Amino acid sequence: MSTPSDLRDKLRKKRRALQESLGKVKDDTQALVPSDSDVTKENERTAVEKLTGRGDDPGETLRRSLKAQRMKKKKKLLEEMSMEGPPEEEMVNEEITAVQELQHDQEEHSVETLAEEGRSVRLQRDLPPLPVARADSSLSESSMRQRMREKLRVARSKAASLLQQEASLEQPSHLRGPRDRETLTRFDRETDLDVHEEESSFAARVKFRDAARKATRDKRTETGLPTEEEAYKFFTFNFDPEPQESRRKDRAKKKTRSTDDEENEGEEDEEEEEEETGRARAREGEDESRERDEDAPLVRDEEEDLFIIDQSAKDFLELKKADYIGYNRRVLREREIFFTPSTRPVPASCKLPENVQPRYLEDEGLYVGERPPVALSNQNILENRILKEDGGKKWFGDDGRILALPDPIKESSSRPPLYHLEEELDPALQTVYRKPLKSKYVNRYIAGVGDTQGDYQLDVDVSGLIFSHHPLFSKEHVLGARLAQLYDQYLSRQHKNLTCLLTDKLNGLRNTIRNMLELHSGEGISHVTQQRIAEYKQEVRHTRQLRDTEQEKDRTLLKSIIKVWKELKSLREDKGCTNTPYKLYIRREEIQRALDEQEQEAEILAEVAELQAESEEDYERKLNEYKRKHEEWKSWKKKQKTLKKKQKQRRQQSQDVDEEEEEDEHSEEELGEEPVKPEAPEKPDIAGLEQQVREKAAKIRRKPGEPVLVPELTASNPITPNEACPRGEISRREDVSKRSLFVKVLYNDKEVSRTDSRSLNMDFRVHFGQIFNLKIVNWPESIKLQIYEGVSSSSSLIAEVCVPVPESSVLTGSTPSEELEFSSNQRVTFNHEGVGSDVPVSFTNDGSNIQTLLTSGKLSCCVSWAVGEDDIPLAPPSTQHGAGMHSGLRQMDAIACIGASGLNDMKRLGKWAAESRLDPNDPNNASIMQLLSVASGGEVVAPDYFRLEQLQEEFNFLSDEELERSRRFRLIRLRSQEEPEFRNFKTIPATEREISEKVFEEYDRRLKEGEVIDTKEHIDAHRALVAKYLQKVRESVINRFLISKHHYILSDLVVEEEVPSIGGPGQGVLGLNLFKLAEPKRPLKPRRKERKKVTAQNLSDGDIKLLVNIIRGYDIPIRKPHTSKPAAGSKGARSYTETFTAASTSQTALQASEWPLGQPVIRPFVEVSFQRTLLQTSTAEGPNPCWNEELVLPFSAPNGDYSTSSLQAVRDEVFISIFDEVLHDVVEDERERGSSVHTRIERHWLGSIKIPFSTIYMQSRIDGTFKLGTPSVLLGYSKERSLGSEGGYDAIRSLSEGTFLTLFITIEPQLVPGDSIREKMKDVKFDTQEVERLLLACEIFEKDAGQRYPDRPCVTTVVDINGKTVFITRFIRPLPPPQELLDAFPNNSQEATELVVRYVSLIPFLPDSVSFAGICDLWSTCDQFLTLLAGDEEEHAVLLCNYFLSMGKKAWLIIGTAIPEGPTAYVLTQEQNRYLIWNPSTGQYYGQHDTFCPLQTVGCLVNADNVWFNIQLYATPIRMSFDVTKPKFWKPFFSRSFPDPGLSSVQPEDLVYRRTDKAYAAELQDRIEKILREKIMEWRPRHPTRWNRYCTSTLRQFLPKLEMSGGREVAEEHRLELQSLLGDYRISGFPLHLPFSEIRPIIEAVYSTGVHNVEAPNVEFALAVYVHPYPSNVLSVWVYIASLVRTR
Amino acid sequence: MTSPNPSVFLLMISGQIEGAQFPEYDDLYCKYCFVYGHDWAPTSGLEEGISQITSKGRGSTQSLVWNFPLDITFKSTNPFGWPQIVVSVYGPDTFGNDVVRGYGAVHIPFTPGKHTRTIPMFVPESTSRLQKFTSWLMGRRPEYTDPKVVAQGEGREVTRVRSQGFVTLQFSIITKDMKKLGYDTTSGEQAPATRLAGTEQPYRS
């Protein structure tokens, strides 16, 4: 690099040169500006720009005085700087300065800095600006400056980048990037720079500043930048020598560039370039970039001269308006670029060649296919577009339309229909399943590709090809080629010189034999030696034969060469021209005749001698053979004779025996074949032998003394030039010259490259000499070379050559190129001299010697693996090279392991190894030997099993036993199995030691329960067994339904609006909602809002509350005065009619007499207990109280699991009990009576209702009036009502007896009931034995019913306990009830019926939804039901219905809904034109018109024959008809169109009842009593519990009576009895009647009565239990409990 | 507080729902909640949240920015049921009805440090064209019964969804006592670094 001063000088020079050329540039700008401005600019900047044009003159003047001024300025600046230049300024400089300083002369730098600072100082003095001074010149200058700044910036950045390159330092100027959008040439900038320096005279500057300020201000107002004042302050406080820096950068730039120039080009170039830039600018003017150019300088100015501050973010941002090009302008511009084909039809004349009329083929009667439909506009567009293109007309047919094939789409399917319902599928169309095949190229990627060393490269070297025959061969060529071929053959033979070798070998062998014989001199030849000699002789013979054939070949070859040459010569003469350069010379090598003859003679003699010896040997051998055979033959003959004799004898003896005959035949067969009689061998003819040898020698060898002929083929013959050739030949040659050839390289059947096409030479050799480097990713499968021959533009495939994939050891550079032969069987004929291909050609003039030649030749090429730069072969490792063999297989392919790929045949390998006599001790062969030993020992055994996850063992970090033992894993596993104990187990401890064994205790116990029956819990062994069985059924059913539980349907996951249907019940979203919109709003008629349903997932304890609204009660028993009279006579015989009317009236009468009106006879309140929470209402008065209170009970789910399934499994029940609040005056001291009130509150249980939570959950609300479960006897109370007040209402009410309570129960918030599973169950198909047709009909029936009456349950199929779908009528079948029940009242069918009903109701109730947690409703048959002794409404109803049927009643099963059970089953009977509705689980019956019948809707009726669906208007029993024969009211399932197919029942023929075990019942009775006693004492921890034995024994006597009467109407009698016995006790008590299932419900029931709560000090208790056994272990449990308070 | 034998490990998550890319929609807000297994319990922080409504920037970037903070600490004994965050995005449709614009879920990263996750969002599709139309008309598009559904696989096979956009979340994860309980979530190379960072080692008695 030159010194700075040099550079500077250069720069100066250059600048001067630039100055001179500036004028031109200026003019350019001037010229451009006006045109530009009037087109686009509408803002203020345009004005500035206009001024620029006018202000050119001052710029020129300034330019002229540039040099002087600058010198002056510098001096001035220096002076100023010395006065006030603060040294910090340099520090403020950006890094860029520092960078440049590295390059710059220090002194100069400082001068420059000062200069700039001086300017900035002056600038300060300029302020405040003169707004008036808006002179043209200054403005022009400003705009000039602006532009200059722009350029400057570019230059700066460029300089910086240059610097960066040079100094490779961090370069901050890139920050300016955004500004440097204007990519102008650097020379431009230089010219401007000069101007800038010129104009830096002081006066001009002042003006200029003003103008600049103006512009700035304008700009500011636009952009919202700080006001002038702010700016002023801003500027005065900080200044920055940044402009100077930029200038310095220019310098630097120039300097650096000038250094470049020095090296590269002269300065003159720059001037030229500058002109170019001038032009560039001119062009630029057209562009929109001009805009940027114009507005940018304003900012620049500010920055450089006004904002002498550090660059802030604002400086880098440029704010400007978005570019907008006027629409018309844009359209104009786009028109130049775009072509928009019009949609107008193209006139036919454009589409056809000139003066051609369109020709319509249809009109000419030709068939023209239907064209595919194309929109006319699209077609027009296409035509327009095509016409625009070159040669577009070829797309149009004769008729002026676009050429089109007929519409390929067939209207009807061309494929034969595949599925015929009945017929077998056409075997040809049968689907064939094939095993999946791995894609060919999957896993064929070479491992490690993509790694650095992983790129493999194949070099395919296509060096050239030679045709051995080509269609364009002339005959001479054919011959020439044959000659050449023969000569090649000759040469190669000569090279191998086999004849000579074999002769030598023969001689050597002969010598050895001779030597051996001589050595032993004929005597004492050992056996070994003899053997060896024989071997040698054999060898000699073999070698001799070989030599003879070789010699013969040599001879014939030579002959044929000469023959072909002769033919060639004659052909040349014939044609008169020469096409091939071949010329054969034959050299003659004279040999000494005598010697030669001698040698030959000796040879012949030796041969003859050998042959003689051999033939003698042969004769000997044959003779021996003959002798042996002859002997055999003789012996055979003898045998034959003897045999024949024997046979004859036998035949004479026994002719009848078949077996023997067979034997005979057999033996005959054995001897049947007669050996050929051997013939004696001939003696060898010695003389003949010699003759033979001589003849042969004459044929295959030179004649003795004949010179040796050595052919020599040269290509020296001159070829006749074209002019001298005959015409045919000329045209052939022309044809040849037209041909060109190229070779395509195909890798894995994909073309990867092709050679250049080379023209065919006269000698039919093509040289390509091209090497293709293939970077490969896939394993090489095949490499193919395809040879194409082209005439002019078209080309055709001649032949394909497969190149073997090289071994990985084959590397480029070390491999010779191979010659691969190819041939083609294309038939080619010519009408010129070319012989063609696959065409018979005759080579002689007479037409004989016809040959058919095929195009063939040799392609010389070479495929090898490339060698990398550092001599690393770019070949994949050889072990991987298995041509896509699977890695797993490769392990077994031992041969591949040793690298001998391709040798897959074990036998062949063995053979090869044996033949080649491998040295077993050579370590190189070790692997092969090993392999062979394996091979000889048997096949290489590949494992004949297949193992999945063979690495599983590796991952087992623990043995299974250990894993089993781990408590933590057990816990996790059990939780995952959703065992009930662990279902929601939270936070399983992290470590083993934190888990105690206790966690599992409960679970283990439950598991054990399976085997051991816990008698304590179940009391009854049978019950325990049943419970166990139930448990098992439950488990199996749960497992069966687990799938369906986890089977989701869309509505479970996605909330979606229903499909809107117009009208229709329920969800006519569109129809109804539209009407609703039109409906007027009626604020006084509030609508019931649907409560929002809450999914149970995100709930926690305390979120759910049970709301129980107690509204009112009816007919609550009233207290009785102590002094009561004996009741009216007992009711012995009753009838149904009586029970409803007579009973109550009698009581009414009784009561009326006893109580005066208006006396408070009872103070009832309601207590609700749920989950051990007790809440009670306030106390009301009277037998028909009204509470109207809401009780809120909290609900908590078990384990805090609020999922639907767990909520459904909640077994808790809501107990709603009515108590009487009895106040006892307990004031002991009579004197205090006046002043204080001492009362004891006693509560007496009157009755209760229990509602299972599951019912509430499923129903979501329970609303209605319910009958209270009252004890049949209430001591101290009478079930009588006051008449007077409610006379009119009494009539209706009296229809039924009992106490009633009106309730409303719901859950807050409303939970989504878990019926979704039930819904889903419909989707899940169960196993079934029903006919498909029936099921289909069921589906249709149910669907239809559901659509018409969605609120009426319709059941046609049910799921039995085995999880199979069964048609419902199959469950109905008359079944006899236990005989003893019928025998109990032999005369009174009424009583018997009631007993049967009672029996059924005594079977414990167990809802399905509890046992099979919300899975589905299962129906069990009656025998299953009786065995299980548990079931829900359906089972009870079915059993009762069956009993009724067997008792000769007309009975139906009612499927409907009731309160509080929800969907349920009742039984309907027809008795004397009245319908009775039986509740099977309570044993209650109701008349059809009973108001308090819990049955709310009747869905369908079922009997053994049919199912009827209720299609009446109303579904409540009161308002409907039960006459199923009326099709208007009932829709039968089996009708005339679908008759009953005669379904057999699933019920057993007969029920087997076990005898009741009285002793067992007594035992159970004792145990229950004992347990209850203990419990009551337990519940009274603070008080002593005394038992009144007398009372107890009395009560015990009553209980059987109660049982006998069915709990009815015995009350009065025994109450009186009691009264008499315990006159001085105030008794309150009642008998509880329960079916027995477990002891727990009994305890619960006793607890809920609250008898134990009596806290009077002198209270005594009485408890009696009676268990009455019924057949089949149905037990009726009576618990009589009473509290006695002594009144005295 | 450091015990030599901890029984739980802690996972502290702080981060934010940075923003979303929903090219077609504007004025969106999002809800988040965490789904975790039985062995997990949040010890502090908010399990659920709902963000402000954000509008698209005026600029060229079409992203919606919430920068809605997440801060929650879980304790657990078992990595099974590792928490997932479920984000659901809602916004008004053409008629101003609030409809769901996307559901998405992602596991909380388990390595300590800062992580950015972009989760693709999707919404369930209507079952039929007609329903699609009516749901569009009525502004009641199909929604999941529970957004937490998207964090689990069960039952998803019955739904069809359409992808909507992306939500970007940023997490800063701190774990405590994971390694002591035998769960090493850091990779081998980072192990020395974390050992340096974790101060548990010296205090071990």
Helical packing angle, A593-653 and A658-672, nearest 10°: 170
Question: pLDDT tens digit string along A41-78?
Answer: 444 444 444 444 444 445 455 455 555 555 555 555 55
Q: How far is B159 from chain A (nearest CA, A)?
A: 6
Residues A975, B38: C-beta atoms closer than 8 Å: yes
Phi-psi category of A1315—alpha, beta or left, where left has phi over 0 and alpha has psi -120 to 50?
alpha
Question: pLDDT tens digit string along A778-789?
Answer: 777 778 888 888
Higher pLDDT, A1097 or A893: A1097
Residues A1056, B124: C-beta atoms closer than 8 Å: yes
Mutation target among A966, A978, A987, A1311 for the B interface, most CBs of B within 10 A: A987
Closest CA to A1296 of A1500, A1120, A1489, A1106: A1489
Higher pLDDT, B132 or A1328: B132
Q: How far is B27 from chain A (nearest CA, A)?
A: 23
Contact list in A for residue B39 (CB cut-off 8 A) is: 986-988
Q: Is-contact A797 A786, C-beta < 8 A?
A: yes
- The per-residue pLDDT for B13 is 94
Percent of chain B with pLDDT over 70: 89
pLDDT bucket at B192, cuts 50 / 70 / 90: very low
Residues B77, A1048: C-beta atoms closer than 8 Å: no
Percent of chain A with pLDDT over 70: 58
- The per-residue pLDDT for B2 is 58
Nearest to B143 among A1055, A1069, A1070 (CB): A1055
- Once rounded to an integer, what is the mean pLDDT over residues A1085-1108? 69
Q: Is A203 exposed, middle or buried (0-12, 13-18, 19+ CB in 10 A)?
A: exposed
Q: Is the minimum CB–CB distance between B77 and chain A shorter than 8 Å?
A: yes
**Does position A1532 have pLDDT exceeding 80, yes or no?**
yes
Question: pLDDT tens digit string along A92-113?
Answer: 444 444 444 444 444 444 444 4
**Residues A490, A493, A494, A499: what is their CA dihedral angle, to the nearest 10 degrees?**
-130
Residues A972, B80: C-beta atoms closer than 8 Å: yes
Residues A1098, B146: C-beta atoms closer than 8 Å: yes
Closest CA to A1427 of A1612, A1552, A1605: A1552
Mutation target among A1056, A1059, A1072 for the B interface, most CBs of B within 10 A: A1056
Percent of chain A with pLDDT over 90: 0
- The per-residue pLDDT for B157 is 85
How far is the C-alpha of A56 from the C-alpha of A1233, rounded, in Å? 130
Question: pLDDT tens digit string along A880-933?
Answer: 444 444 333 333 444 444 444 444 556 666 666 666 666 566 556 666 666 666
Token couple for A179: 């500004």
Nearest CA in chain B to A991: B7
pLDDT bucket at A1136, cuts 50 / 70 / 90: very low
Nearest CA in chain A to B147: A1053
Nearest to B126 among A984, A985, A1056 (CB): A1056
**DSSP secondary structure letters along A1387-1431:** S-HHHHHHHHHHHHHHSPB--HHHHTTTT--EE--HHHHHHHT-B
Residues B41, A987: C-beta atoms closer than 8 Å: yes
Contact list in B for residue A1098 (CB cut-off 8 A) is: 146
Question: pLDDT tens digit string along A940-989?
Answer: 455 566 666 667 777 777 777 888 888 888 888 888 877 767 766 777 88
Question: pLDDT tens digit string along A331-384?
Answer: 888 888 888 888 888 877 777 777 777 777 777 777 777 788 888 888 888 888
Q: Is the minimum CB–CB distance between B5 and chain A shorter than 8 Å?
A: yes
Nearest CA in chain B to A1054: B144
Nearest CA in chain A to B9: A990
> Is the dihedral angle over the CA atoms A1271, A1277, A1280, A1282 positive or is it negative?
negative
How far is the C-alpha of A1140 from the C-alpha of A339, rounded, in Å? 101
**Does position A1069 have pLDDT exceeding 50, yes or no?**
no
Contact list in B for residue A1095 (CB cut-off 8 A) is: 145-146
Q: Is the minimum CB–CB distance between B196 and chain A shorter than 8 Å?
A: no
- The per-residue pLDDT for A1284 is 40
Question: pLDDT tens digit string along A1246-1299?
Answer: 888 878 787 787 777 777 777 787 777 777 777 654 444 444 444 444 444 678
User: Computed over its alpha carbons, how large is the radius of gyration of chain A?
Assistant: 61
- The per-residue pLDDT for A137 is 44
Q: Is B155 exposed, middle or buried (0-12, 13-18, 19+ CB in 10 A)?
A: middle
3-state secondary structure of A852: strand
Higher pLDDT, A1424 or A302: A1424
Nearest CA in chain A to B80: A972
Q: What is the mean pLDDT of chain A?
A: 69
Contact list in B for residue A1202 (CB cut-off 8 A) is: none
Q: Is the minimum CB–CB distance between B158 and chain A shorter than 8 Å?
A: yes
Domains within chain B, CATH numbers bracketed: 9-181 (2.60.40.150)
**Does position A4 have pLDDT exceeding 60, yes or no?**
no
Nearest to B158 among A986, A989, A1053 (CB): A1053
Residues A1057, B159: C-beta atoms closer than 8 Å: no
Q: Is-contact A1496 A1459, C-beta < 8 A?
A: yes
**Does position B50 have pLDDT exceeding 90, yes or no?**
yes
- The per-residue pLDDT for A976 is 80
Higher pLDDT, B64 or A166: B64
Higher pLDDT, A1446 or A694: A1446
**Does position A423 have pLDDT exceeding 70, yes or no?**
no
Highest mean pLDDT among A347-356, A364-373, A1330-1339, B163-172 belongs to: B163-172
Contact list in B for residue A973 (CB cut-off 8 A) is: none
Vertex A150: Cα angle to A145 and A156 (nearest 5): 115
- The per-residue pLDDT for B12 is 94
- The per-residue pLDDT for A905 is 57
- The per-residue pLDDT for B191 is 43
3-state secondary structure of A1335: helix
**Does position A934 have pLDDT exceeding 80, yes or no?**
no
**Does position A1316 have pLDDT exceeding 50, yes or no?**
no
Q: How far is B163 from chain A (nearest CA, A)?
A: 16
Amino acid at B82: W
- Once rounded to an integer, what is the mean pLDDT over residues A257-263? 47
Higher pLDDT, A196 or A1086: A1086
Q: Is the minimum CB–CB distance between B134 and chain A shorter than 8 Å?
A: yes
- The per-residue pLDDT for A121 is 42
pLDDT bucket at A31, cuts 50 / 70 / 90: very low
Counting every residue, how long is chain B? 205
- The per-residue pLDDT for B168 is 94
pLDDT bucket at A1352, cuts 50 / 70 / 90: confident
Q: What does DSSP say about strands A1093-1094 and A1310-1311: parallel, antiparallel, or unpaired? A: parallel
Nearest CA in chain A to B155: A1048
How far is the C-alpha of A1389 from the C-alpha of A1136, rounded, in Å? 12
Contact list in A for residue B154 (CB cut-off 8 A) is: 1046, 1048
Q: Is the minimum CB–CB distance between B10 and chain A shorter than 8 Å?
A: no
pTM beyond 0.80: the answer is no
Contact list in A for residue B6 (CB cut-off 8 A) is: 990
Residues A1097, B134: C-beta atoms closer than 8 Å: no
Token couple for A1599: 């209980």
Q: Is-contact A1661 A1682, C-beta < 8 A?
A: yes
Q: Is the minimum CB–CB distance between B84 and chain A shorter than 8 Å?
A: no
Q: How far is B184 from chain A (nearest CA, A)?
A: 14
How far is the C-alpha of A317 from the C-alpha of A984, rounded, in Å? 62
- Once rounded to an integer, what is the mean pLDDT over residues A600-605? 80
How far is the C-alpha of A311 from the C-alpha of A1122, rounded, in Å? 112
Closest CA to A810 of A818, A799, A802: A818
User: Computed over its alpha carbons, how large is the radius of gyration of chain B?
Assistant: 20
- The per-residue pLDDT for B201 is 41
Residues A986, B142: C-beta atoms closer than 8 Å: no
- The per-residue pLDDT for A30 is 45
- Once rounded to an integer, what is the mean pLDDT over residues A27-54? 44
Residues A989, B7: C-beta atoms closer than 8 Å: yes
How far is the C-alpha of A407 from the C-alpha of A368, rounded, in Å? 11
**Does position A1203 have pLDDT exceeding 90, yes or no?**
no
Higher pLDDT, A1163 or A82: A1163
- The per-residue pLDDT for A694 is 78
Q: Where are the alpha helices (DSSP H) in A1580-1653?
A: 1589-1605, 1611-1621, 1639-1649
- The per-residue pLDDT for A1407 is 58
Which range among A609-623, A971-985, A1123-1137, A1433-1447 shows the weakest confidence by mean pLDDT?
A1123-1137
3-state secondary structure of A873: strand
- The per-residue pLDDT for A1413 is 43
- Once rounded to an integer, what is the mean pLDDT over residues A309-337? 77
Residues B148, A1097: C-beta atoms closer than 8 Å: yes
Mutation target among B130, B138, B145 for the A interface, most CBs of A within 10 A: B145
Contact list in B for residue A967 (CB cut-off 8 A) is: none
Interface confidence (ipTM) of the complex: 0.80
Residues A1054, B143: C-beta atoms closer than 8 Å: yes
Q: Could you count the other beta carbons within 10 Å of the beta carbon of residue B202? A: 6
Which range among A217-231, A723-737, A1053-1067, A1350-1364 shows the weakest confidence by mean pLDDT?
A217-231
Higher pLDDT, A445 or A964: A964
By 3-state DSSP, what share of chain A in percent is helix, strand and coil, each rounded to 5? 50, 15, 35
How far is the C-alpha of A1311 from the C-alpha of A633, rounded, in Å? 112
